[in-house]
Structure 1
Amino acid sequence: MAATLLRRLQPVLALLAAVAVLVVGAPAAHAKPDDEGGTKTLRAALESAAKGHIEAKNKLEASKKRQITLGVTLKQARQQATQLESRVGEIANRSYRQGRFNTMTLLLNSTSPDTFMERALRLDQMAQVDGKALTGYHDAVTTAERATAALDLEIKEQANQVKVMAKKKEQAERALASVGGGAVAGGFVSANSPLAKAAPRNSDGSWPKESCTVNDPTTSGCITPRLLNSYNQARAANFKRYTSCFSERSSGEHPKGRACDFAAATGGFENVNASGGDRTYGNNLAAYFVKNASRLGVLYVIWYRQIWMPSTGWRSYSGSGGPSATHTNHVHLSVI
C-alpha cells in the first residue's frame, strides 16, 4: 500500500524538486537592496541637513523674486512722485499767495451771476485736479516708503537664509565626515542629461508637503506624487531597468514612499558590482537626477560609493557589505 502510494507521488515529488532547484539556483535578480547605507542616525542627520538646505534655498529664491518685484514698484512710485512734484509745488505756491480769503473775494467780486457761476465752476475743477494731484503724490510717496522698508526686510531675510544654508551644509559635511565621506573628484555629472518635467510647487516656490498617497507602480505599496513624477520622468528619459520603490523598513525614505532603487543591470539587483554598460547606465541615471534636482525635488542620490546632496555635491559614502550596501548595483533616489 505504502509502496503504491510512493510510486504515485514520485512525479509530484520530482516536480517539486525541480521547482526548488530553479528557485534556489536562480539569481536573485529582483531581490531588494537591504538598506540605504549608513546607520539610522546618519541617515536622519543627512535627511535633516538636505531638507533644511533645500527649504532655505527655496526661501532665498522666493525672497529674491520679491525683491525684484519690490524694486519695480519702488522705481515706478518714485517716477510718479517726481512727475507730480512740480504740480504739487504749483498748488502750494498758489495756496500761499491767494489763501482762502482771496478765493472767496474772487467769487464775491463777480460782476454778474453768470460770471460768478463760471468762476465757481473753474475753481471747482481746479480743486478736483489739485485733489487728484495731491492724492496721487501722497500715494506714490507712501508706496515708495513701504517698498523701501520691505526691501530692507528682504535683504535681512536673504542674509538669514544664506546663514541657514551654510549651517546645513556644515551639518551634512560633518555627518559624512564621521563615516569618511570626503570630497571626490568629478562625481557623476553630465551636461547632456535631458531635462525632466518639473514636479508641482507651491505659489511661493516651496515644495508642498506630501505623503504616501499614490500607488507604487513597482510594488504593492504606496509612494508620494513627487516620487511618482521622478519615476515617470526617469522612464521617459529611457531609464527603464528594474526599479523598486516602497518597502517596509525600520528607517529611511523607502517606507515613507519617498525613495526608489534603480537597478543598474538589465536583470535587476544582481549581487555584483556594476561594470561596463551597466555601470555607464548607473552613471547616466545618477547624473540625470543631479541635473534635474531642482525640478524633481531631489533630497539625495546614492551611487557607487558616493552620495550627492544639494548642499555638498558628490561625496564619498559607502555602507559595509555587498553591492546593495555600497550602492554599486543600484542607484538610490530620495525626494523631499
Structure 2
Amino acid sequence: MHDHPVRRRWAAALAFMVMVSGLAVAAAAPASAAPGDTGDDGEGGSKTLIQQLAAASKGYVEAKEALERSKKRQSELAAKLKELDGEIGPRQAALDEIVRRTYQTGRLGAVSALITGTGSGGLLDRAETLEKVAVKQDTAVKELIGTREEQARAKTAIDGEIKDQQKQVTVMAKRKNQAEDAIKAANARAAAAEAAARRRSNSSSSSSSGGGSSSGGGSSSGSAKAAAAPRNSDGSLPAEGCTVNDPTTSGCITPRMLHALQEAKKAGFNHYVACFRHQNSGEHPKGRACDFAADKNGFGGVATGSSKTYGNRLANFFISNSGRLGVLYVIWFRRIWLPSSGWKSYSGAHGDPSSNHENHVHLSVR
C-alpha cells in the first residue's frame, strides 16, 4: 500500500517540528562553561583590573606586615631602653663615689700611702691595690659612657621605627584606595551589561552584593585554623615561582599555593579543583591561583543549596586564614574579598556562572 501524498507531507512537517523542538530544549540548557572558557581570563575582570587588584592587595598586605614588624621592634627597643635607664643610675652613682674618694685622697694621698708603707712586699701590694682602683675607675667611666651611647642609639632607633610605621600606614591607605577605585571603575563600566544578571543573583542569594562578612558559612570547617605557610626569619613571605607539580592539572603551582590547597583539603573541602591554566593575565598562569568548584564533580551552573553553602564555608576558611596562607584575594558569588577592604561587589565580564564566580571560589595567593 502506497503512502498518500498528504500523509507524507504531514509526517515530514511533524518530524521537522520535533527536530526544532529538540533543538530549542537543547539550547535552553547549555552546558556550563568552566572558568576561562568564556573568553575572559577566568578571574572575571580585565587584564588591567586584575593587575591593579594584585598589586594593590600585595602592596597593602606587605605594608601591613612591615608595620607589624616595626611595632614589634619598637616594643623590643622600648624594653631595652627601659633596661638601660635602670643601669644608668647605679653606674653613675658608682662613678660618683670613685670620684669623691679620689678627690678626698688626691694624688699626693695615694703617693704618700705608697711610700710610707713598711716593707718592700707591702710596697708592691699597695702599688697593685692603687692600680686596681685606677682600673676600676676607668672601667666605671667606660661603662657609663657605653650605656649612655647605647641609650641614645635605642632612642634614635625608636624614632626611626615610628617614622617607618607612619610610612606604612600611608602606603596601606594608598593601596586600599587603589583597589577600591579599580573595582568601582570596573563595576561602573559593566553596570549596564550586567543589570539583568545582578537582579538574578540578588533574587537567588540572601546576602547583599556589597561589603560585609561572607554570607552563610560559619561552620567548624569554614573557621578551621590552617597551618601557616613557611616564612623568612623576619616574618616576610619568600619569593616563589611555579616550581611544583599541580595535582589538579598537568601544569605547575607555587609551594605556597600547594600548601593552601592541601590545608583546604585537610579542613574537609574536597570538591573538584583546577589550578594552573594558560591565560593572558591573572594568577593562574603564575601558579598562584586555584578555582574550587561549588559542586562536587565540576563547574556547574549557579550554586544553590548545599553547593552554595559549601562555597560560603570555603570562602570563610580562606579569609579567616588569610594571614597564615598568604591570601592575595578571594572571589565568590559576584564579590571579591580584599585584605584592605573586605567584601566588595565584583561583576564578571560575561555574565555567566563562571565569570561571575557563582559556581566556584577563586583563591589567589601571594
TM-score normalised by the chain length of structure 2? 0.80
Identical residues among aligned pairs (%): 49
Selected match of 1:239 from 257, 260, 269: 269
Does the C-alpha gap of structure 1 residues 150 and 294 become closer, same or farther in structure 2, counting only changes over 3 Å? same
1:305 aligns with 2:334: yes
1:123 aligns with 2:130: yes
Tell me what 1:106 maps to: 113
Q: Over residues 279-333 of structure 1, what are the superposed CA-to-partner deviations in whole Å (9 max), with x where a residue is unaligned?
A: 0000000000000000000000000001001001011102132100000000000
Does 155-164 or 135-144 show the bigger shift? 135-144
Does 224-233 or 91-100 show the bigger shift? 91-100
Contact kept? 2:34, 2:354, Cα under 8 Å: no
Tell me what 1:137 maps to: 144
Deviation at 1:142, TM superposition (A): 1.5
Tell me what 2:291 maps to: 261
Contact kept? 1:301, 1:333, Cα under 8 Å: yes
Instruction: Name segments (4+ residues, structure 1) moved above 6 Å.
Output: 24-27
User: In 1, distance between residues paired with 2:211 and 2:158?
Assistant: 40
Selected match of 1:78 from 85, 93, 107: 85
Tell me what 1:226 maps to: 256
Contact kept? 2:330, 2:338, Cα under 8 Å: yes
Matched ranges for 1:193-232 at <5 A? 193-232=223-262
Tell me what 1:295 maps to: 324
AA matched with 2:102:
S
Paired residues, what number? 312
Q: Over residues 7-41 of structure 1, what are the superposed CA-to-partner deviations in whole Å (9 max), with x where a residue is unaligned?
A: xxxxxxxxxxxxxxxxx999968944431011111
Q: How big is the alpha-carbon RMSD for the aligned residues of Structure 1 and Structure 2?
A: 2.2
AA matched with 2:274:
S
AA matched with 2:144:
Y
User: In 1, distance between residues paired with 2:284 and 2:253?
Assistant: 8
Contact kept? 1:198, 1:295, Cα under 8 Å: yes
Contact kept? 1:190, 1:291, Cα under 8 Å: no
TM-score normalised by the chain length of structure 1? 0.87
Deviation at 1:89, TM superposition (A): 0.6
Tell me what 2:4 maps to: none
AA matched with 2:166:
A
Contact kept? 1:28, 1:269, Cα under 8 Å: no
Deviation at 1:103, TM superposition (A): 2.0
1:331 is paired with a residue whose SS is strand
User: In 1, distance between residues paired with 2:32 and 2:262?
Assistant: 22
Selected match of 1:151 from 152, 158, 163: 158
Deviation at 1:115, TM superposition (A): 3.0
Deviation at 1:203, TM superposition (A): 1.2
Contact kept? 1:191, 1:291, Cα under 8 Å: no
Does the C-alpha gap of structure 1 residues 199 and 279 become closer, same or farther in structure 2, counting only changes over 3 Å? same
